[in-house]
Structure formats: structure tokens, C-alpha cells
A and B are shown apart, each in its own frame.
Chain A
């Protein structure tokens, strides 16, 4: 695709709480090329938001980036001083957040909030900035933009607020836009519109995007590549179509199974991933996913698998991999929420009871 825009190398971001050290981002590496859209998926608490916040060095207390590199066009963000990082934020890389109602200053006019994004970096003079605000709002399809600039956030609808946030993010023509769950707080119909808008903007402006979401459908719509995270680590990565077609990590597979797909027959039931998200202070030994994995084998419980190439351009962190999983396990996982051990126990009981097991 071209030059690498953002390169995250073995990033570790930890939270030092009274209950212990929370390893929110535990050795994450990823990259985004210019103009590319990367999806970062995982359930709540897997570290995807903190990874994004780390890129902008906005990790809240009591968290800190403890090691690793974040290279933007070759410069290491973790080593920037205060002035450099201020220059960097909102300019080279911009971020838009999940809930536009709380993410906008309620007592300042929307137009002004977009304008200050520009004047802060002296990219445009005050006069030009004002005009550009209207342009930007028009570009994100906010109706009556000229009058709307004087409104306050509570006067905008949810969808319009998100559009305004997108306008604010794009104000300085950043090379990379990080979007954290941009549609989660919106109604379903509005979600579709925002997705459309983002597709359009990506085409028109060529801005690279890091799209953080737990919504696989969104990833399918917008992204070229996807990174799957679990318990602060990357567990799978690859081109979207390839991953959707043949996910290799059981977690990715489970995620995809829990989304209804129009192109599949109705016979396969939706499966929820059993168990709870892992405790990031005392995480399980071996593979972090093994307590919830339908295909777990003994090795998974002791040794953590490395990220290994499983197909061209695709890597996964698993000892078993979906293509090596036993068909009966896959069927079992498809049709019920039992783990493999429970199914084996049932089989054993059935044998003892004299009922012919198959």
C-alpha cells in the first residue's frame, strides 16, 4: 500500500492501582499504512482503547506507557517532549471518541470547538478558520451549517454531534484518524449514516483510519485489515476478507460466530463466548484465552503461544488454530456453549451408563 504511517512496537501500558498492576496493553505491535483503514476489535477491557490513547499519550492516571515504541513517520511518540506532543495531537493524528454528548464541551459553541482545533496549531488564521468550520460541517453533511456553528452541543442530535466530532477530527487534515467506537452510542439508523460518511471521507481525503470497535459488521464495512485483541495482546491479524473467511484464532472465530451473517444458512445457532473477561491483574497462565476456549488442549494451559504466521499476511496466537481443531469440537462449540471437557465428561458418563456412545 505504501509507506508505513504508524508503527507500534511491543507497547506495554500499565495501570498502577491499589489492587495491583493492571497490564492493560501487554506487548502490542501493529502498523497502519498511509490511507489504510485498520480495524481493532475485541471485547470491552481488551486494551484496544488504551492502545489508541497510548498513541496520543492520553493514558489517564494511574496508567503509564511502561515500554515499547510508537513510531509515527519514524518519530517515536513516547519520546516526544511536551511541545512536540501538543503539535502532534489533533494535527498529525486526531482521535474521535465514543460518546459525542459527553465528549464535547457543553458550554461552548460547536463552531468554536472545531475552530480552536485549527487555531491551536496555527494551521489557519482566525478568519480562514471560521470559514473552514462551515466547510467542514458541510462536508460531514450537517444541514444548515452556517447557522449551526453557533449552536451548543445539546442543541444537536446524537448523529449530528458525532458528525461534528468527525469534522473536528479532520479539521487539520491529519494523516491518521483514530475512531473509538464511533457508532456505539448512536441509534441503528444513524449508525448506518455515519458508516457511509466515514467510507466517503476515507475515499475523498485518503486519511488513514484506526477504527476501534467490538462490532464486526462495522469492520467488514470499513476496514481493509483487522487486528483482534484479547487481554491486552494481539491474538490475530490479517486482511479483513481473509479473516472473515477463515479466522484461525478461536476467539476471532467465536466473535464472528456471535454476529448474525446474512450470507449464512440459518441452521447454525448464534454462540456466545462463555466465561468472563480475564482479570488483567492476575491473568491466567499460558494462553490468556484458554479458560474460555472450546478447543483448549493441555499445552494451552501452560505455555503462551507466540504470534505466528498462519497464512500469507495473516498471523495468529494459538497452539491449535481453527484449521487444526477437531471437527467434533467445532461442531460441539457451534451447537452449544459447553467446553470440550464438559462434552467429554458427558460422553464418559454415557459410556458408563451403558448407553452406546458414538
Chain B
């Protein structure tokens, strides 16, 4: 994991500094070369690149990610701390809703293969998976905010701006962002669960379970799902990664002051330190989640346990 992180930092660092232009470019009135020079000196940007890199690494090790270049006086870590509650709430609510929903839809579709419910679920899943999430978000806004507003003469509609309380999972403002963020991963998990369950249903041991005279509920839960959900668990890692990248778009769309939105802003503003810091944060998070998923996998599939 560490070498991966190192390379990530290296690549990002190199890219940042390769780029034409710098963090001091402003649209409209340009800063004078003098001011730019001073700023560069102040932030150590005049020093040779390798030195900058090492300085940065040294800082990272001590958890010091430097100051935001665009918002002087603010540490990168500070800005992250301010914004993470919103992203966390959005992500957690989405994840906790999408996983059971996706699995549930997939199982039902598989058990009623080729029925109306199956085709409906599949169709919905394909549509959700093929529409960009920001388009889904915009359509939601059009229908649930604008549309409802017009229909009900201003009494009922879903608000589109921001997220007033950071840790409250029951806010009305969360409805549209969560749907927007979770549509694609839910579809993906539903399809995966469906195909995995269909494969499992073909297996001989399911027939054995029926032959023993077990109740349908037991056959499905103990024999079918216990096997068919294994690949779904491995998909949780990439799902999490997808939620991370999805947050960039969703937070921007719905004006949620989270890490995703600040990352996007720091990209257009070329705030190197913010970009680096946030990238590292994401990389670490994703690596940790993947690690957890790997460990979980050993628990649920006894065939991969080495020692005995």
C-alpha cells in the first residue's frame, strides 16, 4: 500500500508542476511578476523540484499538508476537516441505502427470472447505469424541484441547495443527491447480484438442498445467497471508489460543501497543495476500504483460507 501511495503522490506532484501556468493565474487582472515572485518564495515554489518534492514528503509523514494556495492562511488539513462531514454523510447514507436495495433488486430479479419484474428491474438498471449521474441529478431537479414547485404553486418541492446540517441523515435536502449518487452503483450491484444468483441457482448443491426437503426460505438464504453474494462483496471496493468520484459531480451539482466540491474547485484553481492533499486522502481511503473488503472476503469464503 505504501509504494502505491508514494507513486500516487509522485505522479500527482510531477503532473502539477509539469503543467503550464501556475497557481497564481487569475482570470481578469493578472498579478504583477513581482507579486508572483514573492508568493513563490513564500511558498517555496522557487526551489528546485526534487527539493520541493522531498519537502512535501517530509511534511506528509508528519501529517502536515501545507497551506492551501488559493485560500492563504488555511491549512489543507483544516479545509478537509471542515468539509468532510458533508461528504461523509452523503456517502454513508448513499452506501447504506444502495447496498441493500441493489442486492434486494438483484435477488428478486434472479428468483423471478424472465418475469415482468425481472425485465422491469433489468431495464431500470440499464437505464440508470447508462445515464450520466449529473443528467439524472438535473432531471431530478427539474421534476422534483421545479416541476413540483410549479404544480403545487410553491408549497411542495425539494430544495436543491446544499446541506444545512452536516451529520443529519434525514434531511430533505439529501434526497436528490443520494438518488443521483447512488443510481449507478445500485444498478451495477443489482445486475451483479442477479447474474451471480442465477449462476448459483444452476449449481448442483442447490438441488441437494431442495432434495433434503428444506423450506424455500432456507434454501435461498443459506445456500443460494451465501454463495451468490460473495462476488458482490468484492464489488464493494470499487463501489466505494465510485462513490468518491461521484461525489465530485453530485456535490458540485447540489452545492454541497464537501471534499468533492472543494477538490473540483482546487483543480480549476490549480491549488497544488489542496489537489495533492485531497488526492492522497482519497487514495488512502480507497486503499483502506479495499483492504477491509479483502479481509472480509476471507471470512465469507472458506475456500480461500490458507491455514487450517
Contacts and interface: CB of A to CB of B under 8 A. Distances in A.
B156 interface: no
A104 B203 CA distance: 9
A155 interface: yes
SS class, residues of chain B in contact with chain A: helix
B227 interface: yes
Contact of B226 (A91, A107, A168): A107
B203 A102 contact: yes
Interface residues of B, number: 23
A154 interface: yes
A97 B204 contact: yes
Contacts of B209: 105
Nearest to A105: B205
B253 to A, nearest CB: 42
A177 to B, nearest CB: 11
Interface in A34-58: 56, 58
B208 A120 contact: no
A94 interface: yes
Contact of B213 (A104, A121, A155): A121
Contact of A99 (B204, B218, B227): B204
Contact of B303 (A87, A89, A104, A107): A107
Contact of A97 (B207, B214, B223): B207
A88 B230 CA distance: 32
Nearest to A102: B204
Contacts, number: 77
Given A105-B223, A107-B302, A108-B222, A90 B212 contact: yes
A160 B260 CA distance: 56
Contact of B302 (A95, A120, A152): A152
Contacts of A95: 211
Given A107-B303, A108-B226, A90 B213 contact: yes
A349 to B, nearest CB: 53
A103 interface: yes
Contacts of A75: none
A86 interface: yes
B202 to A, nearest CB: 9
B205 A102 contact: yes
B301 interface: yes
A76 interface: no
A120 B205 contact: no
Contacts of A120: 212-215, 218
B227 A116 contact: no
A117 B308 contact: no
A57 to B, nearest CB: 9
Interface string B211-239: 11111001000110011001000000000
B43 interface: no
A104 B208 contact: yes
A117 B204 CA distance: 16
Interface string B6-31: 00000000000000000000000000
A173 B74 CA distance: 76
Interface string B181-207: 000000000000000000000011101
Nearest to A61: B113
A90 B205 contact: no
B212 A117 contact: yes
A86 B227 CA distance: 23
B119 interface: no
A143 interface: no
A56 B207 CA distance: 11
Contacts of B223: 105, 108
B210 A58 contact: yes
A354 to B, nearest CB: 62
B227 A107 contact: yes
Interface string A60-96: 1000000000000000000000000011111100110
Contacts of A154: 302-303
30 contacts: A58-B210, A86-B214, A86-B215, A88-B213, A89-B210, A90-B211, A90-B213, A90-B214, A94-B211, A97-B204, A97-B207, A103-B204, A103-B207, A103-B208, A104-B208, A105-B205, A105-B208, A105-B209, A105-B226, A105-B227, A106-B205, A107-B226, A107-B300, A108-B223, A117-B212, A117-B213, A120-B212, A120-B214, A120-B215, A152-B302
Interface of B: 203-205, 207-215, 218, 222-223, 226-227, 230, 300-303, 308
Given A106-B205, A107-B303, 16 more contacts: A86-B214, A86-B215, A87-B213, A89-B212, A94-B212, A97-B207, A102-B203, A103-B207, A107-B301, A116-B212, A120-B213, A120-B214, A120-B215, A154-B302, A155-B308, A168-B208
